[in-house]
Structure 1
């Protein structure tokens, strides 16, 4: 009798186990995997995951890709090259069809040969060192490069900023990010006759090296009667320390920095660790010029929608908005490439075959008519896999980066420029490496409520008197007129910037 019960039990056990395995395999076959690699335990890593997951949640809510849900696999690299290599091998052996990341240039460059060797497409939203994508057709980036942003900053310092002293100073980290920024800035400065008077370098991994270079820089600048502009080619952590020390000098040093100064870590460190900046926003940061991959003032509808969902609905911190936007876009590009291999009737079966097809689909984004409409605009790639896009200029005001009055936009059709040489001589067009960029004036336009009356709650309407505002360098009110608007529509009180 006991033997009979044992047989029944074993049959039931193996039946349940078998069904469980079958069900698990079915679910896995109905799931698509995407990896993200970065400093997950740090502020910038949080922003990366928030941006990617926000977009994947949206796709999954809408039914996924042909009914298949997308699951995000997270790999922590702490922005360290050795750990990035280890995580890259783990991603190779995972079911991920592509990887989003890594965050820093050093980590990305360390992992890149592994992805190339084993055939894993990678997309970074923040690693800007040029060498990352050179001779590697498996790596793509949705942000501008160091050569591009450093060249623009040098031109901006010379042609736009009203500097009393036409000279510059450079402080840079000796890693891939800092050295490529410093090289591009000094190379451009030499060409446009901006004298780089002093340079200081340090190894961020060596505290003594950083402390020594910082002391030398402060001592040198303290002796000067007038300042040129200081270019920070550093990561956000070191930039915070440099800025706080500089602000203790008797006179304010004009500062410019690359995209690291737009990171969530830069803004949140000041806000949380420095009482002066927290109580008086802009105490340290106001007046710092920077390149930023995302400035909401000149962004379009997609960006406004993203900001609303990220901050108002998800309640994520405002300081994470820029980094999250970059990885929201990277996720958009990855999903576009994956979507094309998940169409019914496709024949790719193995993970390796699917990864190869994802790479091919990414290379289809070579022209603007095939671009992904991202948060910051159209995303498509050049011959290296680098995004072709503008480089927004910002300046810190009250602790936040806002758009500067003068921007530079890529000249897409040189044939339409009547006299290129004259435009260059008039400082209307500048050359940024192999590309030409045209000066654009930012105009702020918005609506202010002067009066609200005739409120009709039954029909959800009211009569509002609105005043149109438009300004370039100072506010100038224009015509005022009354219009009827529905109360369930929101008219923002802040200005919307456009470029003319």
Structure 2
């Protein structure tokens, strides 16, 4: 069952902030969760939106009559892009504030990553309705979710007829091509389309009354005057009030969806919703003609092929991104306005074709091919959009106009241009590892290269993914600047596995089949690594995990290696400190039964505590439990007599460990697993995690003079953590291993040889016959969270001296 998420904004302003009520429940049922929160003040957003809007209007070529004063000076695409990036940066900063992040985390806890979900924003504030909410990380990490604006509550309507009955109105088309819209509609399978081309008012009204319609479609000029106006022919312009009775009659006959592919339609949407139309698709701002045509084509393709209404809108909106080199912010424009109690529409199954026996786009493509719009390729395989050498952006949070241009050039094999654009993007965002990797790949162009893949959890834990990518990017950049491997440069493919075992297996299968890939740096979470390892081993492809601790990897095969030491070694070090240095002897544990490595950590830590004379307080506490409640868990643990608690969450559930720390309020001493070494932990602030002690494989302090740290500072503009160091070392290990034999089997044999030895950023690298890294003095230290006057988050992970 899909989820319904509603953000209800109360009275407020960008100068003072907005109170918000968050409701979450199963679609079609009463909300199971209701949380009150706040979006803080963001006084710069209205001005930045106005600046972007002004430049956007000046681009011209819209399906709207804009007052002449607004288009006297034509702006450039670059100017509009720059204004959009400023607005986007301000919005991302707003959405990253603690109070908003808490609401987002609540949604992420209740809505599974690939679960279908409607996320509805309910507000009367016009600017809130205009904002590009899809840029929020909430949607980036939830591919099954789409944002909609709230229409008025009304009883749900019945399903679509079969065939679907569409009334399509093609109005005044001076200067635009509504015939392209017509071509798409006429070729739509499973639909009965009645076309009204430039009708008079009486003709349109009669058709609205004539029969039950499922969908009302309008294409043509319109304007954003009060009450919203549409130009139904060359001489008549009507407000929705002038069509009120006909539209209400259509609603009584179960009109379910209105699509106005015309203008800045939020005013139209509001009045259509007032009339009771349960679902409306409009454009937030004026829409360029080619964008309007493409959106209709993409949307109807997805909808008629069985996608839900809201996911069809999302897919079509995201496909518009390919046009943004010519039409800035095209993917910002479409928006769905929906009655929250309305069930998502589904296209009826087509038993027999209606009309001409053609596919959805058979005839439409001929009408649309103007040199810009190209036929949409078949839907990708599940993993195809998750792997990239530079032809797609996986880290959307760091997308700049120049990065978008670089990807577009890379896709068409214009590598020199791509390199220039990626270089320009790095000037804007110098700490973006994805762009540095793509830059190096573009410089390789069509030359022979050694290909290594890196699999990271971009979609589920962007911070961790970036930390790993920075290590790989730094190593690749260094290797290629030094001439590569016998003249062959290092090419890196990036994959997004979201720390999901099923996705990791798909990616592993794809990489094994790609004979050019000689090794894989990954995966991040042990769950993903353990799931993928047998596929790599059977496919004879080396997997070198930089961050997975699980002991299960040791028995996964001869092609499986890891950079971090055994979980037993890490757990023993923390247990000794807990008992002998901090004198805590009654320890409770809150771990994550869904996380392989943290369950291993729990077991090893418990055994070590017993061995050192401590006592394990056995209180049930599981971060993956559906009924997990931090306040209740802390209260139970304190009443059991514990003097400390170990927090061992899955890397994607760090927020739950932070909740425990907040609920603790300093009463119990806190210890943690290496997973908690993230900026997310430090962001808890207010003494929440002050004093937390955890073990990590590496810390920069003992190796402050190493060249890796100096170069990292120059590349990324700040310090790096153990995941970056281990990923850097993993990439250098693969490179050094290939010095002897440049084959998969040869690499495996080299790394397993007792003679293989490399001095890396984390010390000497050498592997045991099991594939585990040999323990050396520099591996494994303890760190403690403490206040800092230098760290940007006011807290830091400080090294605990032996």
Is 1:267 the counterpart of 2:667? The answer is: no
Q: Alpha-carbon deviations, 1:384-441, whole Å to 9, x = none? A: 11112331111112221111122xxxxxxxxxxxxxxxxxxxxxxxxxxxxxxxxxxx
Is 1:330 the counterpart of 2:730? The answer is: yes
- Report the count of equivalent residues: 347
| Structure 2 CA distance for partners of 1:228 and 1:237, relative to 1, 3 Å | farther
2:759 aligns with one of 357, 360, 373? 373
2:637 aligns with one of 218, 221, 237? 221
1:179 aligns with one of 599, 612, 618? 599
Q: Larger Rg: 1 or 2?
A: 2
Aligned-residue CA RMSD (Å): 2.4
1:396 corresponding residue in structure 2: 785
1:467 corresponding residue in structure 2: none
| Structure 2 CA distance for partners of 1:201 and 1:285, relative to 1, 3 Å | closer
Is 1:340 the counterpart of 2:740? The answer is: yes
Q: Alpha-carbon deviations, 1:340-372, whole Å to 9, x = none? A: 225xxxxxxxxxxx10011011112x36xx421
2:546 corresponding residue in structure 1: 125
- More RCO (CA 8 Å, sep 6+): 1
Q: Alpha-carbon deviations, 1:206-256, whole Å to 9, x = none? A: 5x2433xx34421213436x7422112223453443344434445431111
Instruction: Measure, in 2, the Cα distance between the counterparts of 1:397 and 1:71.
Output: 40
1:259: Cα distance to partner?
1.0
2:588 corresponding residue in structure 1: 169
Q: Alpha-carbon deviations, 1:449-498, whole Å to 9, x = none? A: xxxxxxxxxxxxxxxxxxxxxxxxxxxxxxxxxxxxxxxxxxxxxxxxxx
Instruction: Measure, in 2, the Cα distance between the counterparts of 1:360 and 1:186.
Output: 36
Normalised by the length of structure 1, the TM-score is: 0.65
Instruction: Measure, in 1, the Cα distance between the counterparts of 2:566 and 2:735.
Output: 23
Residues 649, 656 of structure 2: 8 Å contact kept: no
Is 1:288 the counterpart of 2:692? The answer is: yes
2:748 aligns with one of 350, 359, 384? 359
Instruction: Measure, in 2, the Cα distance between the counterparts of 1:169 and 1:181.
Output: 14
Residues 236, 261 of structure 1: 8 Å contact kept: yes
Q: Alpha-carbon deviations, 1:127-146, whole Å to 9, x = none? A: 00001122511110111122
Instruction: Measure, in 2, the Cα distance between the counterparts of 1:235 and 1:405.
Output: 27
Gap runs ≥5 in structure 2: 1-412, 414-441, 788-794
Structure with more strand by fraction: 1
Residues 157, 229 of structure 1: 8 Å contact kept: no
Q: Equivalent residues in 2 for 1:32-431 (5 A)? A: 32-41=450-459, 42-94=462-514, 95-163=516-584, 166-174=585-593, 175-202=595-622, 204=624, 208-211=626-629, 214-223=630-639, 227-249=642-664, 251-262=666-677, 266-268=678-680, 270-271=682-683, 274=684, 277=685, 283-299=687-703, 301-302=705-706, 305-311=707-713, 313-316=714-717, 318=719, 320-342=720-742, 354-364=743-753, 366=754, 370-389=756-775, 390-398=779-787, 399-406=795-802
Residues 554, 770 of structure 2: 8 Å contact kept: yes
| Structure 2 CA distance for partners of 1:139 and 1:222, relative to 1, 3 Å | same
1:269: Cα distance to partner?
5.6
Residues 695, 783 of structure 2: 8 Å contact kept: yes
2:509 aligns to what SS in structure 1? helix
1:333: Cα distance to partner?
0.6
1:301: Cα distance to partner?
3.2
Q: Alpha-carbon deviations, 1:233-289, whole Å to 9, x = none? A: 223453443344434445431111121122xxx314643xx5xx2xx6xx2222111
| Structure 2 CA distance for partners of 1:62 and 1:193, relative to 1, 3 Å | same
Residues 172, 200 of structure 1: 8 Å contact kept: no
| Structure 2 CA distance for partners of 1:246 and 1:64, relative to 1, 3 Å | closer
Instruction: Measure, in 2, the Cα distance between the counterparts of 1:142 and 1:153.
Output: 19
1:382: Cα distance to partner?
1.6
Residues 661, 689 of structure 2: 8 Å contact kept: no
1:190: Cα distance to partner?
2.3
1:339 aligns to what SS in structure 2? coil
Residues 300, 377 of structure 1: 8 Å contact kept: no
| Structure 2 CA distance for partners of 1:321 and 1:187, relative to 1, 3 Å | closer
Normalised by the length of structure 2, the TM-score is: 0.41
| Structure 2 CA distance for partners of 1:171 and 1:250, relative to 1, 3 Å | closer
Residues 586, 616 of structure 2: 8 Å contact kept: yes
